[in-house]
Amino acid sequence: MASKSASDDLVQCFDDLVRVETRLYNAVGETLRREHGIVAAQYEILRYFSDHPESRIADVATNFAAGVGAISKGVDRLAARGLVDRRPNPADGRSMLVFLTDAGAALLAAADVTFRRRLAELVAQTVDDDQVETVTALLHTLRARLERDRLGMPVG
């Protein structure tokens, strides 16, 4: 039997990371849908606009590593429900700025309680606070590196 290599460990890490993310995302999303009528992606977009008032669609797309078209459609759905609104960008007439409405802020506040509760239920059963802190630091470092590389910044 062949010995396990560092490359095998990376493949396993990738597989576990992707499957954990998918299962957490789906479980939290199902709870948000059932209790608040939004899915995880909508929650994330609302949270982004709460944390970054009056952002452009392109800003959201960059943050989530998603296409502008997909984000724009998602924002259209939120706007149709009165959760976000758009204003012309005074600095660039070709783009719009998106902001939370009062209804969007209220929904986000309620959904955030649900999101945090459900995430804790899913993770706390298996992982302690120190492990969460360690994994968070590692993932933050990896994400920052990948985002820096994606933007063409020098590695170093």
CATH number, domain with residue 64: 1.10.10.10
The verdict on 119 and 135 lying in the same domain is: no
**CA–CA separation, 78 and 42 (whole Å):** 8
**CA–CA separation, 76 and 69 (whole Å):** 10
Of residues 104 and 142, more confidently modeled: 104
101 pLDDT band (50/70/90 cuts)? very high
pLDDT at 148: 82
The verdict on 96 and 149 lying in the same domain is: no
The verdict on 68 and 118 lying in the same domain is: yes
pLDDT 10s digits, 114-152: 999 999 999 988 888 899 899 989 999 998 888 887 755
The verdict on 64 and 134 lying in the same domain is: no
Question: Measured on CA atoms in the order 86, 58, 146, 24, is the torsion positive or negative?
Answer: positive
pTM of the model: 0.84
pLDDT at 151: 58
Domain span including residue 146? 127-156
The secondary structure of the chain in percent helix, strand, coil, rounded to multiples of 5, reads 70, 5, 25
The verdict on 116 and 149 lying in the same domain is: no
Of residues 105 and 89, more confidently modeled: 105
The verdict on 152 and 107 lying in the same domain is: no
- Mean pLDDT, the chain, rounded, equals 90
- Yes or no: say if 49 and 104 are a contact pair by the CB < 8 Å rule: yes
Length of the chain: 156
The verdict on 120 and 152 lying in the same domain is: no
What is the number of domains present in the chain? 2
The verdict on 59 and 105 lying in the same domain is: yes
The verdict on 118 and 139 lying in the same domain is: no
The verdict on 142 and 110 lying in the same domain is: no
pLDDT 10s digits, 46-95: 999 999 998 999 999 999 989 999 999 999 999 999 999 999 988 887 88
